[in-house]
Structure formats: C-alpha cells, structure tokens
Amino acid sequence: MAIEKGKVPTPIPNSKKPVNLFYSLDCEDLALKVAARCDHIILQNIKWRSFADGFPNIYINNAEELRGQHVAFLASFSSPAHVFEQLSVIYALPRLFVASFTLVLPFFPTGSFERMEEEGDVATAFTLARMLSNIPISRGGPTSLVIYDIHALQERFYFGDEVLPLFETGIPLLKQRLSQLPDANNVVIAFPDDGAWKRFHKQFDNFSVVVCNKVREGDKRIVRVKEGNATGHHVVIVDDLVQSGSTLIECQKVLAAHGAAKVSAYVTHGVFPNQSWDRFLHKNESLEKAFTHFWITDSCPLTVKAIGNKAPFEVLSLAGSIANALQI
C-alpha cells in the first residue's frame, strides 16, 4: 500500500487474541459464563483426579498445543482442601512455553489476616502472596494476577515483582443494579466501619453516605452511626466480604432505629462459613423485613451453589468483568 510522504498511516485495529481458559472444578459455572461473554475465550479442560492416598493426579489436556498460546486459569481458593491441587496446575501452565499466563483469583481468601496483633500471629495474607509471587515466568514474562476487592489495600505490596497484580472491583456491578431500582434516587450508601469507608467511598461520590463504627462498652462492641443521615432512605450497606454476618445484622438494626425506610446489603465475597447465609433468608421470621436485598458476586462459587437466588440474595456475576480482564 502506497503511503504519501509526511502522512502517518491509519493503524489497522488488531483483533482480540484467543485466550485458553482453564478452571478449577468449583469455577465451572463461572468459566462457562466468562466464555459466553467473548468469542476469543476458549475453554480448556483438566482431568482432576486423585491417587489412592488422596494426593492429586492431574492431567492438563492439549498441553503440547498450548505452546505460543495465551493461557489463563480461573481459581477458587475458598476451599482450603483444593488449594494445593490448583497451585500445582498454576505452577505448571506457564512452563508449557505459553505466550502469556494470567491467573484470575476473584477472592483472595487470607486477605483479612494481613497483620499481627501480637508476637506469634501468622499473617497468612503475606504467605499466600509469597506463594503466588513464585509462579514461574512464562515465555511472555511475569504472570498477570487478577483479584477482586482485596480486603486491605496495602496487601498489593505483599506481592513480589515476579507477578503483575491487577486489582479489580465488583462495585460497578452494584452501581448498575442500584440504578435499576424503583427507588434509585433515594438510595444512601452505608459503610459498617472506617475500613470499608476507606476502601470504597471514592467509588460512591454521587451518593449520600452513612458511616458506622464499633465502640466498646464493657465487654461488648456496639455498632453506632458515626456520621450521615439514614432517615427515610433506602440504605445499602457495602463491604468487601461477609463471614458470620453479625456486623451486618447489627448495622441493619442501628440504621432501622435511625429511621431507614429500607436496608439492603452488598458484599463482593459471600464467604458465609458454616452456612451462616441461612440466617439472612426471608424464611427466618426475625429477619423477614430486615434486608430488602442482599447482593453478592460469584467470587465464592460454593456459596453461590448453596444459596442460588433465594430471597433476599441476588448474585451479580463477575463474568463480564473477568472477560474484559482477559482481553489481549
């Protein structure tokens, strides 16, 4: 093609490069949704088997065909029993002479154990970050690591230079859902503590905000409203994760006492150990009207399978966001 002197040719846009996506067994449903969002994402299979002694016997299908290809793995560490077998695959895939390797770990499970309060405490957030920082370098360079709403922002500094962490958030999914509510103009965002406010308040600049905190009274820790007005509003409590749910329940009671018309909740990671999600179901008479909505993402697949969309729960899928993160 002839090009006139002094003129820069118009660049031809590159098409998206295909990405081979492997996944853990727990993440199969999410992987299917991710692949459905983009034609360039090709699902690949792994044979997850075990020897008689319980240790993994794993086989990566089409390993030789991965040379020079872009490869990703969708992991779920929400079950400690499956971490070792997934790490085995995560360490093996970059060594197959792949063009690039991306690890998508929606939930960084040890994120809430990031500091020591006394000598002898083990900061397992740092331990897991070190393990992921030792993923072998692929042909194309360091591993890209995608994590959603990590518990403490300073944890990004726990990772070594051998990986390239990309910290994503599920908040855009919540904001899109809030815009669809009949009372969207009456929504106020509440944070259960100062930590949640620090993590998320800049993403809610167009919303009025209520901030709660915990104060100690004798042997008890009491939730109080620190600032903001809940009266007459649909108040949505926002946090990164939920375990037992006790803090959310106490916040709901305080917000209702301060005149909130409705109270809902959002967390990116619905951990809910020991089926603690059950206490929020609308079958529970004591909480029948406590939470109008409870939004979670599918970062913890075992929780999603357990609760489905039982009221008040609604799952906001990360599939579209993950598909975008995998574009090359």
| Cβ neighbour number for residue 300 with a 10 Å cutoff | 26
Identify any residues that bridge with 296 across adjacent strands, giving them in sequence order. 267, 315
CATH code of the domain in which 128 resides: 3.40.50.2020
Closest CA to 165 of 251, 116, 118, 105: 105
Residues 25 and 163 placed together within one structural domain of the fold: yes
Q: For residue 5, what pLDDT band results from cuts at 50, 70 and 90?
A: very low
Q: What is the mean pLDDT of residues 244-268?
A: 96
Does some domain include residue 305?
no
The pLDDT value recorded for residue 1 is 45
Is 74:44 a contact under the CB 8 Å cutoff? no
48 and 101 inside one domain = yes
* Predicted local distance difference test score (pLDDT) of residue 15: 67
Q: Give SS3 for 213.
A: strand
What single-letter DSSP state applies at residue 116?
-
Name which of 73, 129, 79 is nearest 302 in CA terms: 79
Same domain, yes or no: 133 and 209 = no
Q: Does 23 share its domain with 153?
A: yes
In a domain, 3, yes or no: no
33 is a domain residue: yes
Query: Is residue 312 a part of any domain in this protein?
Result: no
- What integer pLDDT is reported at residue 218 of this predicted model? 67
Q: What is the pLDDT of residue 2?
A: 47
| Alpha-carbon gap, residue 18 to 6, rounded angstroms | 35
pLDDT at 282: 86
Q: How many whole angstroms from its chain centre is CA 324?
A: 15
pLDDT for the residue 11: 44
Total domains in the fold of the chain: 2
CA dist 172 and 71 (Å) reads 26
Same-domain status, 177 and 292 = yes
Residues 163, 32, single domain; the answer is yes
Task: Return the ∠ at Cα 286 (arms to 284 and 290), rounded to 5°.
Answer: 95
Residues 196 and 142 in one domain: no
- The verdict on residue 6 lying in a domain is no
Residue 46 located in a structural domain? yes
- Which residue range(s) make up the domain with 218? 171-297
Is 192 in the same domain as 212?
A: yes
Task: Give alpha helix (H) positions in 204-295.
Answer: 246-257
Nearest CA among 283, 229, 271 for reference residue 247: 271
Residues 49 and 92 in one domain: yes
Q: pLDDT: is 287 or 133 the higher one?
A: 133
Residue 117 lies in a domain: yes
- Is there a domain that residue 13 lies in? no
Write out pLDDT tens, residues 77-132. Answer: 977 889 999 999 999 999 999 999 999 999 999 877 777 678 888 888 899 999 99
pTM tops 0.75 = yes
Candidate from 46-50, 103-107, 211-215, 240-244 with smallest mean pLDDT: 211-215
For residue 312, whether the previous peptide bond is cis, meaning omega lies within 30 degrees of 0, is yes
Residues whose CB falls within 8 Å of the CB of residue 173, separated by 6 or more in sequence, listed in order: 295, 297, 316, 317, 318, 321
